[in-house]
Chains A and B, each alone.
Chain A
Amino acid sequence: MKPTDIKDPEYFHKVVDCQYACPAHTPVPEYIRLIAAERYDDAYMINWESNVFPGVLGRTCDRPCEPACRRGRVEEEPVAICRLKRVAADNKGDVKNRMPQGPFSSNGKKIALIGGGPASLTVARDLAPLGYEIDLYDEWNKGGGMMRTQIPAFRLPEEVLDEEVNYVLDLGIHTHFNHYVESMKNMLTKDYDAIFVGTGAPKGRDLKLPGRESADAHIHIGIEWLAGVAFEHISKVGKKVIVLGGGNTAMDCCRTSRRIGGQDVRVVVRSPFKDMKASPWEIEDAQREDIPILNNMPPKEFVVENGKLKGVLFGHVRAEYDDNGKRKLIPTGEPDTFIEADDVIIAIGQDNAFPWIEKDIGIDFGKWDIPVVDRDTFQSTLPKVFFGGDAAFGPENVITAVAHGHAAAVSIDLYCQNKNLKDRPDPMTNLISQKMGIHEWMYDSGVVDDLRYAVPHEEKKLSLSDRKIEVELGFDKALGFKEAQRCLNCDVQTVFNTSRCIECDACMDVCPTSCITFTNNGEESDLRSRLMAPANDTSQDLYISDILPTERIMVKDENVCLHCGLCAERCPTAAWDMQQFFYNVTKASSGCLVAE
C-alpha cells in the first residue's frame, strides 16, 4: 500500500467518527472537552458556529454521530454526544456578545428566504454578517419551521427554540411572518439577487381506506395535528386514540395525545417492530408513557357507525425478506382485529409540496414533485433559485437541513459574486501537537471505564399532566462531566514520523488495543490479514508509513484506537506525536470569501 497522505484533510477527518458522521461536521470531541472543562460558553459557541441550534439539537437531534462513535466499538454504548450538547446550552452564560454584531455594512446584495425553518435560518446566519440584505418569509407567526410545528413542547420547550431562532433573526433579518408565498413567479419579479427555498416537506401523507371520508372529523394527519397543538388550535383529543405509523412523528403524536386527554393510546404499525423508523430512544420514551406498540397489523378500514368513528379494523401479516433484504408483508390468515378509537392520527410519512411554484418558470421537477437540485451547490435549474433542507431532496432532519443551509449559503455567496459555484473553498483544518511533558498532554488522555450515564427524566405523572413540561431534565454539571470524560478524544490524532522511528517496537508493545504493527508492505487485503489484531472493518482506514530502515512499514488500524497517547508516551524519539486535528466545514461566514 502507498503511504497515507495525512495532508489530505479528509484522512484525519474520517478518524473523528462522530464529526465525520455529522452532516454539519460539528467538532464533537472539541466541545465535549470544553464541557468537561466547564467552559460551557466556548462549547456552546463551537456548536453554534457549526450547527446554529445547539439547544434544539441537544434535545431533538437524530444523532447520526452516536452510532458512529468509536466508544460503541470498544464497549457497549457510545458517548451521549447529543445530550452533552444540551449541557453546553443549558449552562452557558450570555453568549450574544460573542456572535457577529450588527449592523453589518451592506454588500448591496439582496436575497429572499422562503420558509423559516432550520435551513433558511442557517443561510440567514451565514450570509447576514457578510452584508446581505435578507428577507425571510414564513406562513406562521414565528420562525423555526418544523422545529416549532412538529416537535412537541415536552421535548423542546418553546423558550429554547425562541432563543436560538432569535439569535439569527437579531442579525438584522427582515421577517415577513404570517405571509404564505403563493407564487414563485411573483417572487422572481422582485429585486432579489438570489432566492433560497427552505419550505420543508409540509404535506403529511393520508391513508385512503374505506370510511376515511365519513369519519374525517376524527381522523387527523400527524404533522398537521402536531402543528395545531403547537399553535393551540387543538387542545384535546378523545380518550381512545390510535396512532398509525412507526416514525418519530408517530411517537410525538402518541405522546402528545397522552397529555391532552388520551388515556388509552396505542401505536399500530403495519410491519415488524424492528423495522420501525423511529429512533430507539423515542420508542423507549413512548413505551415508558404506557403506550403499547402493536406490530404487523396493517389497517384495513375506518369503522364508522351512524356517521361516527368507532375504531379501526386491522389485518395481520408477517414479514419475509428475500436475499436482497427486500421486505414482503404476507397475510397470516388470522382473523382481523378491531380496535376502538375516538380519534385516529395518521403519521405514515410526509412529502414535499410546491403548489406555489409555477411549472413554467424554469425550475425543473423530477420524480415525486422533488425539484432538480445539484447535490453539491443546492442550485436549482433556475440559477438564482436554491433549495435546502427537506425541500431539496425530501424529508431528512434538522442537522441535515443545517448542513444544506451552510452549503447553500456558500453557493449563494459565490453566485452573487459571479464566481463558479463548483469551485468551492476548502475546509479549514489545523493540526497542533498536544505534548507538554513526558506523561503530559494538553488533553486528558486517560481512558475511563464508566458506562454511559442515563439522562434523568421528570416524574411521569407530572410530565403527563401538561404538554409543556419537558420530559428530559438533562445532565447536570456533575453528570455532564462524567459523561464527557467517556469521550476518547478521537480528534487528537496519532501522527507518525517515519524518519524519527528507530523500530524499537515500543508503540506496538504498549498499544492496549493492538492497533499498531510493524511488518512488510503488501496489498491492503493481505496486510489486513497480517496485523497484530483482526482488522476486518474495511470502512476504517489503515495508516501506512513510509518504508523504514529494516524495509518494513508501520501499519496502524484506525478502527479501535483509543487515542490514549501511550504509543507517543512510550516512543523514545517522538516519532509518534499526539496532535489535535481541527476541521471546520467550509462556510460562507468563515471569512474565506472576501466580497470584492
Chain B
Amino acid sequence: MSFHKPTFAHPELPINKVGYRKKDYEGVISTLCAGCGHDSISASIVQACYEIDLEPHKLAKMSGIGCSSKTPAYFLSNSHGFNSVHGRMPSVTTGANLANKDLTYLGVSGDGDSASIGMGQFVHVARRNLNMTYILMNNGCYGLTKGQDSATADLGSISKSGSENPFQGIDLVGLALELGASFVARSFSGDKSQLVPLIKAALAHPGFAFIDVISPCVTFNNNKGSTKSYDYVRQHIEATSEFDFVPKEQPIKVEYSEGTGKSVTLFDGSTIYLDKLSNNWDPTDRYSAINRIQEGKKKGEIVTGLLYINPESQELHKLLNTVDTPLNKLTEKDLYPGDGILDRINDTFR
C-alpha cells in the first residue's frame, strides 16, 4: 500500500539556477481519483516553477474548496499556502497581496468555487487586475459530490447518469475578457507542452493572469456525450498558436514563421512567442480575442492557447499607487511619522 511517495529521487536530476531539483517543488501524494486532470495541472505547476527558477518560499498558493482546491497539498510543499472558505480565494489573495506584494501569488480554483459560489469574487479580482495567477481547474461537474452538472457544463453535455444539461454554461474566459483581465488563456490538462509555458508566462505577468484549464473528471465526467472528457477535448481542441515563454536573460532559441508569428515582451523583460497564429486574431487586441472565441464556439471548437495579453498591464498596487515597501514591512515609525509632520500637513490645508 502506498499512501506516501518513496523519498528516493532519480539520482541524476538536474538542478535549476536557484539550486533546486524538480523533486523539491513536489507535494505529498495526491488523494484525488486516479487519472484526475487536476493532478496533471499540479505536475505542470511543479514543472513551470522549477523551470523559471522560482524559489519555493517566494510563492503563496491560495485555494478555496473543492477537488481543485485540495491540490495545493500536492505541489510546492515548501511554499506558503492558504486554504480559504469556499469561493473566497480571490479576496483572501487580495488581502495577502496587499499586505505583502513581494510574494508570487498562485490561486487555484474549480468551476464550482469560481463560477457558482465564488462568482462575485472572481468578477472583482479580475476587474481590479490583482497581481496573481488564477488557474481554474475546470471539469464541468461537482466531482466532490458525485458529479452534478456545474455552472460551466456546456449546454447539451450529457452527464454520467445520462441527463442532458438544459442550461447555458458560463465561459469564464469570455467573462474575464469582458471584465478587463490582462492575461487570459485556455488550456487542457492533457497537453503539458502548452500548459507549462502558459503557467510560466502567467506567473511572470504583472497583473491578473487567468488560465481556464479543462481538466477531465475521470470518475464523473469522462463519459460519452460529455464535452469535458479526454476524448471529446482531444477531438475538438484548436490551439490558437504554438506558444513558448522565455524568461529574461535566457538565450532566445525560438524561431517562428514570418507573418504568422508574434512576440510580446513582458514588463520584467521576459518574452512570449506565439507561432502559427490563427487568422484574424491579434493576441494583444481584446476585441479580436473575443471574436476568435465566439467564432470557435460557432464551429464547435475548443479554442486554446494564450488568447489575450495586455503588455501594458498595470496591476493593483500600481493603480492604487502604494509605496514600494510591502505594507506588512512598514513599521510604526513609517506609518506614524509624528506630530510635527501631521502639523505640517494640516498647515497646508489652512
Q: Please tell me if the beta carbons of B43 and A570 are within 8 angstroms of each other in the complex.
A: no
Q: Pick from A439, A513, A573: contact of B1, CB below 8 A.
A: A439
CB of A427 within 8 A of chain B? Answer: no
Given contacts A504-B35, A571-B34, contact A534 B12 (CB under 8 A): yes
Q: Which residue of B lies closest to A519 (CB)?
A: B193
Q: Which of A103-111, A384-392, A442-450, A580-588 contacts B (4 or more CB under 8 A)?
A: A442-450
A73/B11 in contact, CB under 8 A: yes
**One of B2-10, B89-97, B171-179, B341-349 contacting the partner:** B2-10
- The reply to whether A439 and B3 contact each other, CB–CB distance below 8 Å, is yes
A533 touches B10 (CB 8 A): yes
CA distance A515 to B8 in the complex (A): 12
| A341 contact set on B, CB distance < 8 A | none
* A interface SS class: loop
Is the Cβ of A573 less than 8 Å from the Cβ of B8? no
In the docked arrangement, what's the CA distance between A508 and B22, Å? 14
Chain B, residues 11-41, CB within 8 Å of chain A (1/0): the string is 1111000000010000001100111110110
What separation, in Å, do the CA atoms of A506 and B190 have in the docked complex? 10
Q: Mark B173-197, 1 if CB is under 8 A from A, else 0.
A: 0000000000000000110100000
Chain B residues near A550 (CB-CB < 8 A): 234
The answer on a CB contact under 8 Å between B2 and A566 is: yes
Chain B's closest residue to A571 (CB) is: B34
Closest beta carbon of chain B to A22's beta carbon, Å: 24
Q: Give Cα A22 to B101, complex, Å.
A: 60
Question: In the assembled complex, which residues on chain A have CB atoms less than 8 Å from the CB atom of B37?
Answer: 504
Q: Which residues in A have their C-beta under 8 angstroms from that of B4? A: 446
Q: Who on chain B is nearest to A73 by CB?
A: B11
Interface residue B216 (Cβ < 8 Å from any Cβ of A): yes
The CA of A240 and the CA of B33, in the complex, are separated in Å by 72
CB distance from A547 to the nearest CB of B (A): 15
Q: Is B230 touching A447 in the complex (CB atoms < 8 A)?
A: no
Q: Measured between alpha carbons, how far is A447 from B234 in the docked complex, in Å?
A: 36
Q: How far is the CA of A189 from the CA of B220 in the complex (A)?
A: 81
Chain A contributes a number of interface residues (CB within 8 A of B) equal to 38
Asked if A549 lies at the interface with its beta carbon under 8 angstroms from chain B, I say yes
CB contact between B35 and one of A512, A562, A564, A571 (< 8 Å): that residue = A571
Residues in B whose Cβ lies below 8 Å from that of A515: 10
**Interchain CB contact under 8 A, A570 and B11:** no
With A and B bound together, what is the CA distance between A514 and B25 in angstroms? 13
- Residues on A with beta carbons closer than 8 Å to the beta carbon of B43: 505, 508-509
Contact of B13 among A73, A502, A533 (CB under 8 A): A533
Instruction: Please tell me if the beta carbons of B7 and A504 are within 8 angstroms of each other in the complex.
Output: no
Tell me whether A75 and B8 are in contact in the complex, defined as CB-CB below 8 angstroms, given that A504-B40, A510-B30 are known contacts: yes
Report if A560 contacts B (CB, 8 A).
yes
With A505-B190, A571-B35, A572-B34 already in contact, the answer to whether A512 and B11 are too (CB < 8 A) is no
Q: Does A62 contact B (CB under 8 A)?
A: no
Contact A564 B2 (CB under 8 A): yes
A569 and B34 form a contact (CB under 8 A): yes
| Residues 195 to 235 of chain B near chain A (Cβ within 8 Å) | 216, 218, 222, 230-231, 234
| Interchain CA distance A50-B93 in the complex, whole Å | 64
Contacts of A508 on B, CB cut-off 8 Å? 43
Residue of B at shortest CB range from A503?
B190
Q: Is B42 an interface residue (CB 8 A)?
A: yes
Interface size class of B (residues with CB under 8 A): 35 or more
Q: Are B1 and A446 in contact (CB under 8 A)?
A: yes
Nearest CB in chain B: distance from A371 CB, A: 45
A262 to B33: give the CA distance in the assembly, Å: 69
Distance in Å: Cβ of B166 to nearest Cβ of chain A: 28
A571 to B35, CA, bound (A): 6
Task: List residues of chain A with CB within 8 A of the CB of B7.
Answer: 447, 449, 512
| A422-445 to B contact mask, C-beta < 8 Å, 1/0 | 000000000000000011110001
A536 contacts the other chain (CB 8 A)? yes
Q: How far is the CA of A419 from the CA of B200 in the complex (A)?
A: 68
* B6 smallest CB distance to A (angstroms): 4
User: Total A-B residue pairs with C-beta atoms closer than 8 Å?
Assistant: 105
Q: What's the least CB distance linking B206 to chain A, in Å?
A: 30
- Decide yes or no: A562 and B6 within 8 Å by CB, A504-B40, A506-B39 being known contacts: yes
CA of A515 to CA of B9, assembled, Å: 10
How far is it, in angstroms, between the C-alpha of A549 and the C-alpha of B30 when the chains are bound? 26
- Could you tell me the distance in whole angstroms from the C-beta of B218 to the nearest C-beta in chain A? 5
**Alpha-carbon gap, A502 to B216, bound state (A):** 11
Write out the residue numbers on chain A whose beta carbons fall within 8 Å of the beta carbon of B11.
Answer: 73-74, 560
Evaluate contact between A504 and B216: CB separation under 8 angstroms. yes
Q: Which residues of B contact A536 (CB under 8 A)?
A: 12
**B71 → chain A, closest Cβ, in Å?**
11
Which residues of chain A have C-beta atoms less than 8 A from B8's C-beta?
74-75, 447, 449, 512-513, 560, 562
Closest approach, in angstroms, between the C-beta of A238 and any C-beta of chain B? 50
Contacts of A562 in B (CB 8 A): 6, 8
> For chain A residues 492-507, which have a beta carbon within 8 Å of chain B?
502-506
Q: Which residues of B contact A503 (CB under 8 A)?
A: 190, 230
- Chain B residues within 8 Å of A566, by CB: 2, 5, 29
CB neighbors of B among A260-304 (8 A) = none
- In the complex, the answer to whether A505 meets B192 with C-beta atoms within 8 Å is yes
Are B10 and A560 neighbours in the complex by a CB distance under 8 Å?
yes
For the complex, is A565 an interface residue (Cβ under 8 Å from B)?
yes
Bound Cα distance A570, B33 (Å):
8
Partner of B6, one of A502, A505, A512: A512
Instruction: Report the bound CA distance from A570 to B2 in whole Å.
Output: 11
- Residues on A with C-beta less than 8 A from B218 are 502, 504, 572
| Chain B 128-156 residues near chain A, CB threshold 8 A | none
A445 touches which one: B2, B34, B222 (CB < 8 A)? B2
Q: Which chain B residues lie closer than 8 Å to A571 at the CB level? A: 34-35
**How far does the alpha carbon of A509 sit from the alpha carbon of B14 in the complex, in Å?**
17
Give, as a whole number of angstroms, the nearest-CB distance from A574 to chain B.
9
CB distance from A521 to the nearest CB of B (A): 16
A571 to B218, CA, bound (A): 11
B180 to chain A, nearest CB (A): 34
> Which residues of B (56-99) have their CB < 8 Å from a CB of A?
none
- Which residues of A in the span 14-61 have a Cβ within 8 Å of any Cβ on B? none
Contacts of A510 in B (CB 8 A): 5, 29-30, 39
| Pairwise interchain contact B40-A440, C-beta atoms closer than 8 A | no
* A74–B8 alpha-carbon span in the complex (Å): 7
Distance in angstroms from A594 CB to nearest chain B CB is 44
* A 532-548 contacts with B by CB, 8 A: 533-534, 536
Q: With contacts A514-B10, A534-B14 known, is A504 near B230, CB below 8 A?
A: yes
* A505 with B40: CB separation less than 8 A: yes
A-B contact pairs, 17 of them (CB 8 A): A73-B11, A75-B8, A439-B1, A447-B7, A502-B35, A510-B30, A512-B6, A513-B10, A514-B10, A536-B12, A550-B234, A560-B11, A562-B8, A566-B5, A569-B2, A571-B34, A572-B34
Q: Which 4 A-B pairs have the closest CB atoms?
A: A572-B35, A447-B6, A509-B43, A533-B10
Q: Name 7 extra pairs, CB < 8 A, besides A75-B8, A506-B35, A514-B10.
A: A502-B35, A506-B34, A510-B29, A512-B5, A514-B9, A569-B2, A573-B35
